[in-house]
Every structure is written in C-alpha cells, then in structure tokens.
Amino acid sequence: MSMTPNASRLRPERGCVLTANGASLTPTNDMRPNFALRFFAFFAVFHALTAFGNSNADTSGSEDELITANLENDTPVVEAVGEDLHVTVEDEVLVLNADNFDRVVYTKPVILVEFYAPWCGHCKALEPEYAKAAKILKENEPKVVLAKVDATVEETLSKRFEISGYPTLFYFKNGEKYEYDGPRTASGIVDYMREKADPNYVPPKDAVLVLTKENFTEIVNKEDIILVEFYAPWCGHCKKLAPEYKRAAKELSEISNPIKLAKVDATIENELKEEYNIEGFPTLLIFRKGKRYNYDGPRDEQGIVRYMKEQQISPSKILDSVKQLDKLINAKGSSGRQSLAPTVLGFFDNENSPYYELFIDAANEQRDKAFRFLHTFDKSLAKSLKEKVNTITLMQPEIFSSDYEPSRYRLTLDEDTTKEDILYFIGNNSIPLVGERNYHTTWLYDGKYPLVVVYFDVDFGYENIVATQLIRKKVLKVANKFRGKVTFAISKEEDYEHELRDLGLDDSGEDVNVGFFKSQNIRYAMPPDEFDEEKLETFVQDVLDGKIKQKIKSQPEPANNNGAVTIVVGSTFKKLVTDNPRNVLIEFYAPWCGHCQKLEPIYLQLAQHYASKRDKISIAKIDATSNDYPEIYNVSGFPTIYYVSHKNKSKPILYNGDRSLSDLIKFVDQMIENESGAKEEL
C-alpha cells in the first residue's frame, strides 16, 4: 500500500475528524477536551509525511500560527499544512462554515462563536458590538478569537449545536463548548471573554459608587448630575440590571465630562428608602446638585449611557434673535413634519438669576416631553418681542392660531413662584384649543378627558393646508363653546385606523368621523353623516347628557361557551362577570404573551378542579387586547388575574401569588372560605 502525501485525500468528512491512526471520530462534548490534542497529533504525523514527499512544503509553523499570521495580514485564505483552509474574515470576525468549523474552533485555545440569522433584528444590533469586541480581543493576551456562523445557511452546524434562536453564542475553551451568558455590548463581551481566557484576569474596579446615609447627601449635592439606583439584593430585576449598570458606570466614567453612577442597598438604608419614597426595586433617580428627578430611560448599558449623556446637555437653548425664534417655532423635525409641540421661552437678567435657575429646574422635569425650551439674557431682544424680564411665555405653532385664544400665554415670576407653578402653567396651556393629535403629540393628550377627536385626512402641507384648516375652523367653533369642559383635537385617519375600528367607523364611508372618549376605554361614535359644526355640537352635548350608547370594543361572542373556562368578551363582561351571582376568577391575557401561554394548561386544570363547584365559582378569561373591560381592573401586564366576589363586584382582588396550580387553588379556596365564614353586614 502506498502512502500518498496529499493532504486533500485525508480530509475529514463533515462532522468527523481524523485521528493520527486514521480512525474517524464524530466530535461530542465527552471527547472534545482531548480532541485538540488528537487533532494536533494527526497534523504532526501528516506534517512529516508531507515533508517527506514534498521538499517544498511549508513547515515553518503550526496551523494555529499560520491562521494567526494570515488574520493579522487580513488574508481571506488561511494556509494549513498540506492544503488551504479557507476562512473569510469580516471586521476581524472569522466567518465559519461546515468545511472549516472544526479545524478552526478546535485548534483555538479560546474562541467565541455566534450563530446568527441575517434577518434577525437582535443579530443586526449585535453585529457592530461584536466586531468592535473582535478588534479589541485580537490584541488580547492570551488571544481570543471571535467567529460567526450563518445558521440559516449552515444547517448542518445549526442542527449539530441545536440552535433554536438567534443570536446564540458559545465559547470554546481547549475544545470544550460552554454557553455564553454574558452581555451583548463590546465592552461587556471583552470583559467576559478576558475573564474566561485568563484565570488570573482581574476585572476592572467597579465604577459604581456605594452610597449610605453617611455619604449620600454629600455626594449627590456636589455632583452636577448623578444617577442613583435603589436596589434589593434579592430582587431579580436588580440582578439583571447589575451588570448593565456596572458597565454603563465604567463607560460614563471615561467620557470627557464624566457622569457618576451610584447605588443604595435599600434593604439596609431604610432612612434613605423612606426619604425618597422607594416602593419598588430597582428604582433609579437622577440628582442634580441634590435635586431629585425621575429616571425614565432604558435599563441596558448603551441605553443608560445614551440617556445620561443627553441628560447632561442643558434642557434649554439660548435665544439670540427674533429670526431664530421664528425658525425654531416653525422648524420641521427629522420626519419632515413641523413640530407640533409648544415653545416655552424665558427672559432673565443673567445666568445667576434665581428665576433662571427655577426655569431650568422646571425644564429638567420636562426633559422626556417634546417641549422646546428657550431662554435669553438679551434685554433688547425681550423688548423687541414685547416681553419683560423675569417672564415666561408659551407659544403654540403658528398653524394652531385662532380667534378664540391668545397667541402667547405669560407667567410673571416673583419671589413666591415655585417650580410647581411653572409646571402647572406649562401643562395648563400646552394644548391649543384644537391641535393635532398624532403619535408625536399623544402624550399631550394623556389624561385630558373627556376628549373629542375629529378624524380626517389631516395635512398641513402646502397643497392641503387650506382644506385642513377649513375643517379645523368648524371644530374650533364647537370647541370654544365647550371650553374648560371637553378637550378637542384633530387626527389623521390613517394613523388611527385602530381607533376608528373600535368605534365602528372604519367603514363609515364618510370623509370626516368623530369619536368621543370619556376615558381610554369608554368611547362613543358620532353617527356617520356629512360633517358640520351643528351636528358635532349636538353629538357632544348628547354624550354629556347620556343620550348616546357607549361603543364597546368586543370580539364576537363564542357560539359555544360550555368549556371548563368561560370565555368573556367585551359585550358579555357585564353579564358573565359584573352581574354574575357567583364568584368569578378572571384572567386578563394577551394571545402573544409567553407567560399567558405557559399558564393556559394550568388555568384549564384549575377550571376542571372547580367543575363540581360551578355554583360557587366561575373560572373565566378575556383577551385584554381585543376587548373592553371596566376600568376598576388595572391591567398593566399579562397575565393579570382578579378574584371578583359575588358580595362586592366593585372591588376585585388582584392575585399576586405564584402561577402554579397548587397556589391558585389555595388562593381560590381561601377566598371562598373567607366569604362563607364572614358575617353578613347589617
């Protein structure tokens, strides 16, 4: 038998490798710790054979060294001994496939591999962070390599590693596979992989300050801005936030104008917990020279960093001229549409004025709103605008001007004015008599009930502004008559098709439709007809007088509702829950909710358990995304479960226990027992 020194003839099949004695092995988790050694043994033997038969063979280094050398030279083809090993490199990340996976992964001391799908949003978000980490770790000692596999193309590898979601990451250390459970940011990946690659690695010092009652006031009072987390060691959400918060603290400590992040163990620091009314964990607060502000930002590293950098910027821009003011008020946003939020302009002596400080304090409270805050210390500019120093004015966009309201609202500041006075002034005048309610301005109308919305093809563009203002002027006449009692707005019908559908007006055939909202879920529809102000006024008055029937959003009533779990829809809620003479346990769920899907078989078992007690308890559920329900049921997440006693339907009891069958049975039994043992009220 002849021994041919041609590497390609001894090339392993996919999913298999060849050992030094020629045996074919399929890699498994049990044998991978020794696999790299066997692999090197094979190449040592084969290297000798190749050198014997080919005096021109390159024997200057191991396969691992050759791979490294070519990566450093950005060469897309990596030379192995005896044949070429093709590995594409993208942004320092190796692109692996079934042909090269084993030969790369199992010859690297430490390598991180991402299985991704090109269409996956999370994969796309990870891509730049992953590439950035690869560049940093390339220079690490010991070296850490990052690689990726398109799992939609490499189905063999995807199946072999049981990939069921994207992105999935594994790191391999000396041939042994481990699940990657670290962060998805560049700095997080770097720290995580450095720790895994080097047992002697010492992570960077925690940049998060630890606050106690002894140092809290001193630290928060001296910082221009600081973010403080109140946490509990046992809290799951706090544990999830901890690594993100730590990395954000490190990154923010390294920017040109560092921002400090701190934490308070609220289970120990009870005085601080009570002082700042901490009711849940984690609670994050921003402090500016000791003044407290709510944190309404993200809870991930990059989100925290981005949000806090924005918070560092002044909430108000300085105004230099009347021309600049006109330009800012009528400026268009990134969407190309004119900003519809009001402008708040302050006139002050100088930046040391206590009234200016009060103004900035109020502006900081409104950072998460779309208000435009401006200020000036130029007295001649104030005079040209016919305003006085120590005055705040609020102006609406010019397109919302009318004969029924002033062009500006003014607040004169004096020594008794507080931040709350300024906030009230802004909030009370932030909505024009008839403004446009869209996705950018919905927040302006939150809680402003009762609310009348007139839906049509709203367009303030050059070609359609006349037609839009014609309808708006009709609405203005009616709005003025109900001023102080009802809020009015116009909305583009195509932006609110879901509301028109809930009102039963999606197929009305009319160009203009009207909805009246007493609250978020209590709505009335104006009968479809040709629109004019007289009909609008009559409709609004009829709703206020109780002459119009409420429009209830509801799925069709089930034809067969005899199952163990009673199906409730919007139109049957009153009959099956509110007016039901029995006790009712009702689950509010969302069809897409994973927790709801997990609960479904347990909830069915619960209903079957009480099948013999249907005279006492009804187990029911309602799709809370497609049906209306009374507002006494506060549903802020899914699933939400309430127990409704037959003795007091107006006070449903929220279930806060575990969603196991035993705990649910225990809860229901306790409720029934409490009622049967309780004395009837006289």
User: Is the Cα dihedral 455, 458, 464, 468 positive or negative?
Assistant: positive
Question: What is the rounded CA–CA span in Å between residue 70 and residue 100?
Answer: 15
Let me know if 123 is a catalytic residue.
Answer: no
Last residue of a domain, one of 292, 312, 332: 312
**Closest Cα partner for 559 from 546, 574, 572?**
572
Q: What is the pLDDT of residue 59?
A: 32
What one-letter code names the amino acid at 43?
Answer: F
- Shared domain for 306 and 349, answered yes or no, is no
Tell whether the model's pLDDT for residue 402 goes beyond 90. Answer: yes
Q: What is the pLDDT of residue 338?
A: 61
Give the dihedral of Cα atoms 484, 486, 487, 488; nearest 10 deg: -120
Q: What is the pLDDT of residue 370?
A: 82
- Report residue 646's pLDDT band, with 50, 70 and 90 as the boundaries: very high
Lowest mean pLDDT among 12-26, 159-173, 274-288: 12-26
- Shared domain for 328 and 426, answered yes or no, is yes
Q: What is the pLDDT of residue 592?
A: 92
pLDDT tens track for 406-418: 999 999 999 999 9
Task: Give the distance from CA 497 to its chain's centroid.
Answer: 24
- Shared domain for 321 and 426, answered yes or no, is yes
Q: Token pair of 566, please? A: 């009673």
- Shared domain for 360 and 299, answered yes or no, is no
Q: 34 lies in a domain?
A: no
Mean pLDDT of 440-461: 94
Q: What is the pLDDT of residue 682?
A: 32
Mean pLDDT of 499-518: 94
Q: 54 lies in a domain?
A: no
Active-site residue, selected from the candidate residues 16, 120, 123, 238? 238
Mean pLDDT of 223-228: 96
Assess contact for 630 and 578: CB atoms under 8 A: yes
Q: 202 lies in a domain?
A: no
Mean pLDDT of 655-669: 94
- Shared domain for 179 and 233, answered yes or no, is no
Q: What is the pLDDT of residue 141?
A: 82
Question: What is the rounded CA–CA span in Å between residue 164 and residue 299?
Answer: 26
Which of the residue ranges 12-16, 20-24, 420-424 has the most confident prediction, judged by mean pLDDT? Answer: 420-424
- Shared domain for 332 and 283, answered yes or no, is no
Q: 437 lies in a domain?
A: no
Mean pLDDT of 621-637: 94
Q: Which residues, 6 or more positions from 155, have their beta carbon under 8 angstroms from its beta carbon?
A: none
CATH of the domain at 336: 3.40.30.10
- Shared domain for 301 and 388, answered yes or no, is no
**Average pLDDT of the chain, as a whole number:** 85
Lowest mean pLDDT among 100-114, 229-243, 316-330, 363-377: 316-330
Assess contact for 241 and 283: CB atoms under 8 A: no
Task: Give the distance from CA 281 to its chain's centroid.
Answer: 18
Q: What is the pLDDT of residue 19?
A: 33
Q: What is the pLDDT of residue 165?
A: 86
- Shared domain for 355 and 306, answered yes or no, is no
Q: What is the pLDDT of residue 188?
A: 85
**Closest Cα partner for 297 from 367, 370, 216?**
367
Which DSSP string corresponds to 486-550?
-EEEEEEGGGGHHHHHHHT-TT---S-EEEEEEETTEEEEPPP----HHHHHHHHHHHHTT-S--
- Report residue 140's pLDDT band, with 50, 70 and 90 as the boundaries: confident
Let me know if 593 is a catalytic residue.
Answer: yes
Question: What is the rounded CA–CA span in Å between residue 186 and residue 125?
Answer: 11
pLDDT tens track for 42-83: 444 334 333 333 333 333 334 443 344 344 433 344 434 445
Q: 488 lies in a domain?
A: yes
Domain hosting residue 651, numbered range? 566-677
Active-site residue, selected from the candidate residues 16, 120, 123, 596? 596
Tell whether the model's pLDDT for residue 200 goes beyond 60. Answer: yes
Q: What is the pLDDT of residue 75?
A: 36
Q: What percent of the chain shows pLDDT beyond 90?
A: 70
The count of C-alpha atoms lying within 13 angstroms of the C-alpha of 559, restricted to the half-sphere facing its C-beta, is: 0
Q: What is the pLDDT of residue 195?
A: 87
Q: 21 lies in a domain?
A: no
Last residue of a domain, one of 197, 222, 257: 197
Assess contact for 372 and 344: CB atoms under 8 A: yes
- Shared domain for 186 and 158, answered yes or no, is yes
Question: What is the rounded CA–CA span in Å between residue 659 and residue 663?
Answer: 7
Q: What is the pLDDT of residue 475?
A: 98
* Per-state percent for the chain, helix, strand, coil, to nearest 5: 35, 20, 40
Q: What is the pLDDT of residue 340?
A: 80
Cis peptide before 142 (omega within 30 of 0): yes
Q: What is the pLDDT of residue 95?
A: 95
Assess contact for 433 and 403: CB atoms under 8 A: no
Q: What is the pLDDT of residue 187?
A: 84
Q: How far is CA 44 from CA 11, 61, 82, 129, in A?
A: 15, 11, 11, 38
Q: What is the pLDDT of residue 332?
A: 60
- Report residue 326's pLDDT band, with 50, 70 and 90 as the boundaries: confident
Last residue of a domain, one of 270, 292, 312: 312
- Shared domain for 296 and 344, answered yes or no, is no
pLDDT tens track for 563-572: 999 999 999 9
Lowest mean pLDDT among 46-50, 345-349, 352-356, 595-599: 46-50
- Shared domain for 186 and 216, answered yes or no, is no
Active-site residue, selected from the candidate residues 16, 120, 123, 235? 235
Q: 404 lies in a domain?
A: yes
Q: 5 lies in a domain?
A: no
Mean pLDDT of 328-344: 69
**Residue 145: beta bridge partners?**
111
Tell whether the model's pLDDT for residue 465 goes beyond 70. Answer: yes
Active-site residue, selected from the candidate residues 16, 120, 123, 593? 593
Q: What is the pLDDT of residue 62?
A: 40
- Report residue 206's pLDDT band, with 50, 70 and 90 as the boundaries: confident
- What's the number of domains the chain is made of? 5
Question: What is the rounded CA–CA span in Å between residue 496 and residue 441?
Answer: 13
- Shared domain for 305 and 338, answered yes or no, is no
